[in-house]
Structure 1
């Protein structure tokens, strides 16, 4: 049985179930299953077929892959059956015209529930660690359709060690949130992080992600785009919430270097990250006063307690901190940027 025939059989069942969410998730999986060069012929065949099942397929794929402001009218001369007006993607991530034949107004020819696809209200956002060391974080957003039905939760796993790219996503019941231990955040910021993470993944060739991501990706992106007041790029306020800075000379200077190191991924703090900071990054990159060097171990201890006080992390600080003065004094470890900055300072 061909992909098209199978899709229409599944669409027949979806017309009976009348579930916008189930239909959107189905369309996302269908999008993932079709190769890029298969999408346009598939949509063209659906437009030519004209059956209710084919029209639902067009409407669903359109709902999960695009938003209205991503499209302009197709070039004149495009011929489709009435009610199947072609649209031409103009957004970069729409992908080589793959959705050029998706029906813009097809939903109007189908039962009313079809028009609810993609029309959701965001009810909350949450963000936090997926594991004790924050090597991955979770961004969660809850939604329900405009008629108040089918509440659902989108959860996106974002890998910090790989730079902050999206590596997995699921759509679950809202009660799934109870087991995640995330803290509430402004939905616009959470949605911004989701979009930032997917865009980063698109720029990295060969990024390692979960096999399940592709089948949820279109829904995840369309949901994030539906959140009002998006914050792009989305900052993380973890550093600003840190209020345990030791009261000693050089502490502020030391903390500024720590903040520079953790950058926009402050939830990621593991034993390996401790070692990288104290024994590699600081000697290579940082210029610190004697007071800053002396204060650094206590600052890192305080940050480690704030980041979860994991025994392995605290033990790594104690193992690496005594080496810091000697490493900072070893000019052979300084990187080029540090050497240039030192030379300019000493002029």
Structure 2
């Protein structure tokens, strides 16, 4: 980091000392962290420690609050955590490095600084971000231990590409009023947030919002602060579905739908419904005549449960009549289905 950039950091920290806001300071630290190249982290922490001024010590404390305090080490950093060594160039930086750099500084700073990262989760919500659930939103509300600065973390999770985190914001709690989300257990929602970030870390070149890196550290810190985390955290839409039609074969048909939607049941668009009816079922599924006959009504009931989008219902109406013929066309069956048909006793 250049001398000019370091001077700017110190100046900003001086302003934050006047604001006396834990939330504002944590958000600033998250943005600061996002702007550091991997090889700049350790030299920057050393320079702050060498400076020793109140502003530098506040910066160390803030970085530790969003990256080091109680955080699990991220993938690839475990060896450095065990040895105490710094990360080699190109390797992830151990979160514990930030906690070590800030060791002892809290006692030298104003009392409000100690509240950074010390929050209570007051509620959690989850649901589709769009009519077809191609993205879902996970929301968690927090308040500091003194009851002040309530705030809301909202993470956008892309279902189409596997369920990875693609955006996040920290807003006032009233932001929730504009979101059509269902209340859920905080530990489950926080688990989904952590799962979504970890999945994104494993996907090379994942497309995410430009604003995500600046919120990521505080999003992870907040999610990890929620007690009774559920990992992995499944979506409970299937277990909540109670509108199965009273038709022969309906339960069999629903079982295949559950197999298809997997762990992303809220994603149900015209394209996904068409893929299920015209491609996946003929290729993968073995169904009785009753199951095939019941499938359209099962899909209509599922669609109504997820909001009854007219475009999805129209797609089902368009594709359902061809289902019996597609299921009877042996040339469409995949290898697994063909083997199962030849050796049903092995299934």
Query: What is the TM-score when the length of structure 1 is the normalising length?
Result: 0.92
Say if 2:198 is the partner of 1:196. Answer: no
**SS of equivalent residue, structure 1 residue 137:** strand
- Residue 81 of structure 1 corresponds to none
- Residue 25 of structure 1 corresponds to 27
Query: What is the TM-score when the length of structure 2 is the normalising length?
Result: 0.92
- Residue 289 of structure 1 corresponds to 288
- Residue 247 of structure 1 corresponds to 246
Contact 2:71 2:224 (8 Å CA) reproduced = no
Q: Report the Cα distance in structure 1 between the residues aligned to 2:184 and 2:148, rounded to whole angstroms.
A: 23
Q: Report the Cα distance in structure 1 between the residues aligned to 2:72 and 2:269, rounded to whole angstroms.
A: 41
Q: Report the Cα distance in structure 2 between the residues aligned to 1:324 and 1:138, rounded to whole angstroms.
A: 34
Contact 2:71 2:96 (8 Å CA) reproduced = no
Contact 1:39 1:98 (8 Å CA) reproduced = no
- The C-alpha deviation readout for 1:59-78, integer Å capped at 9, x for no partner, is 11111012336489x99xx9
Cα-Cα RMSD: 2.2
Structure 2 residue runs without a partner (length 5+): none
Cα distance change, pair 99–8 in 1 and its aligned pair in 2 (3 A): farther
TM-fit CA distance, 1:102: 2.5
Cα distance change, pair 132–89 in 1 and its aligned pair in 2 (3 A): farther
Q: How many equivalent residue pairs?
A: 334
Cα distance change, pair 156–15 in 1 and its aligned pair in 2 (3 A): same
Q: Report the Cα distance in structure 1 between the residues aligned to 2:133 and 2:71, rounded to whole angstroms.
A: 36
**SS of equivalent residue, structure 2 residue 244:** coil
**SS of equivalent residue, structure 1 residue 127:** strand
Say if 2:179 is the partner of 1:180. Answer: yes
TM-fit CA distance, 1:88: 6.4
TM-fit CA distance, 1:89: 8.4
Q: Report the Cα distance in structure 2 between the residues aligned to 1:130 and 1:149, rounded to whole angstroms.
A: 29
- Residue 275 of structure 1 corresponds to 274
Say if 2:207 is the partner of 1:208. Answer: yes
Q: Report the Cα distance in structure 1 between the residues aligned to 2:105 and 2:70, rounded to whole angstroms.
A: 13
TM-fit CA distance, 1:45: 0.7
2:65 paired residue among 63, 77, 81: 63
Structure 1 residue runs without a partner (length 5+): 79-86
- Residue 134 of structure 1 corresponds to 133
- Residue 82 of structure 1 corresponds to none
Cα distance change, pair 327–70 in 1 and its aligned pair in 2 (3 A): closer
Contact 2:136 2:159 (8 Å CA) reproduced = yes
- The C-alpha deviation readout for 1:4-50, integer Å capped at 9, x for no partner, is 21111100101111100000000000000111111111111111111
2-11 vs 152-161, which deviates more? 2-11
Say if 2:230 is the partner of 1:228. Answer: no
TM-fit CA distance, 1:242: 1.0
**SS of equivalent residue, structure 1 residue 2:** helix
Contact 1:39 1:99 (8 Å CA) reproduced = no
Segments ≥4 residues shifted beyond 6 Å:
87-90
Q: Report the Cα distance in structure 1 between the residues aligned to 2:85 and 2:135, rounded to whole angstroms.
A: 37
TM-fit CA distance, 1:200: 0.4
1:95 paired residue among 82, 92, 97: 92
Contact 2:68 2:95 (8 Å CA) reproduced = no
- The C-alpha deviation readout for 1:65-124, integer Å capped at 9, x for no partner, is 12336489x99xx9xxxxxxxx7689xxx9234762521222221111111100000000
- Residue 325 of structure 2 corresponds to 326
